[in-house]
Amino acid sequence: MLKPTYPYYLANAPVAANTDLEVTDKYTGEVATRVALADARTIDTAIAAAVKAQEPLRKMRPFERQAILEHCVQRFRERQDELAMALCIEAGKPIRDSRGEATRLIDTFKVAAEESVRISGEVLNLEISARAKGYRGFTQRVPIGPCSFISPFNFPLNLAAHKVAPALAAGCPFVLKPASRTPIGALIIGEVLAETDLPRGAFSILPAHRDGADLFTTDERFKLLSFTGSPAVGWDLKARAGKKKVVLELGGNAACIVDADQGERLDFVVERMIFGAYYQSGQSCISVQRILVHEDIYDRFRDAFVAAVKQLVAGDPKDEKTFIGPMIDEKEARRLDEWIQQAINGGAKLLCGGKRDKTMLQATVLENVDPRQKVSCLEAFGPVALLQKYRDFDDAIRTVNASDYGLQAGVFTYDMRKAMRAWDEIEVGGVIIGDVPSFRVDNMPYGGVKASGLGREGIRYAIEDMTEVRLMVVRDS
């Protein structure tokens, strides 16, 4: 269970400044714990401390930073059950998914520990013409400086880790604002970091309301802003971020193509599609939202998929049998319910689901949705999937690309020519062949194009954003 109260972390130290932030159990709606809430003055103090920590953190040797990350891995393993239950309560994430995210937190820090001693440069051959005779070039990567991190509610452990772990590996001090609805996981990370000998000011973890956290975006002492969340908020932050580098991991309405040759393993495809569309109640940027199935196997797929969706258990996320838990709050559940009803009124066919009880929205399947409907062209971010048939593979690719988003896409096919064409032509950050777009391993480059964002996560790729190339040229005597 959760503690009665949690402090925030200011310049490495726990501060029980107040208990102003109520964190609710997302299934019962009851207050589960109370958290210290940072104000603008506290955030300013944290930024100043991060600036002071820049030099001592930069001078830490790679093996010293690696030791800190390895300590985190060990402590997260010891506290894995606690982390999973905290996540289940504060996010309403089914306990099986919560355990999976706690495992990914450990994986992410483990990869960061390995990458912390691999940050290297190169030797450049500058003698490309006679005028450069006798010159040699060398590069190294140096920390960019203090970083501002804003993490979302849906993966409060692992998406915070994808900012914190590479920053520690690279030697960048940071100030993290976790989502105010789900701050506990990030604060437990802070509790573990406070056990280490990081320089004072190397990290601050400060829950704050959005309207009081403007410094995370605008303060010029930050050299990088990394934000994960909605496109509307992300692009607004970028417009106000000034000169700092900006990394945005935003939303999507991920599509998956199922080729005609998948008829012999339809059970597997359905199983993976159920996971992709409905795990953690569809509240994922790469949740399967649009499913395009070849007309030769469409009816078989539709019938099997709908039957499987009807079998999903909804209820208390603490129950081991639960697959569909609550959405993050009733406002979000009401929004998606309205989108579903608008699509039905616009001619879509409801195949199952479509009902809401407070924060609980039934796993829903719609067929023949007008692509102009919000549930199709925007990010649903909830337990709904849309089915449509296609005849020509290239037409299916064009349908996938007819979106403002471009995060990941899935393609089920045995035909390598089609797989390569999908990789070449689908306008996304990642194409997953033989599985759903919801697949992610924490060392792979992850990010989107178009409205889905800028930059890439995945530890090595995040380290590249958090470091700068510094050149040295040597002229032979």
Show contacts of 12-17: CB within 8 Å, 24+ apart.
Answer: 12/193, 12/194, 12/198, 12/200, 12/201, 12/202, 12/203, 12/204, 13/194, 14/190, 14/191, 14/194, 15/42, 17/42
Scan for tokens 């996010």, then name that residue. 91
DSSP-derived 3-state class of residue 198: coil
CB-based contacts of 303: which residues, under 8 Å, 6+ apart?
Answer: none
457: DSSP letter: B
- On whether the CB atoms of residues 445 and 454 are closer than 8 A, the answer is no
Task: Please identify every residue annotated as catalytic.
Answer: 249, 285
Euclidean distance between CA atoms 170 and 161, whole angstroms: 14
Euclidean distance between CA atoms 425 and 188, whole angstroms: 42
- Please report the DSSP string for 28-51 in residue order: T-SEEEEE----HHHHHHHHHHHH
Euclidean distance between CA atoms 288 and 301, whole angstroms: 15
Locate 307 and state its tokens: 């039957």
Least Cα distance to 449 among 229, 282, 249, 224 occurs for 249
CB-based contacts of 288: which residues, under 8 Å, 6+ apart?
Answer: 254, 255, 256, 273, 276, 277, 385, 410, 436, 437, 438
Least Cα distance to 279 among 153, 97, 152 occurs for 97
- On whether the CB atoms of residues 255 and 292 are closer than 8 A, the answer is yes
Partners of 360 in the β-ladder: 357
Euclidean distance between CA atoms 376 and 363, whole angstroms: 16
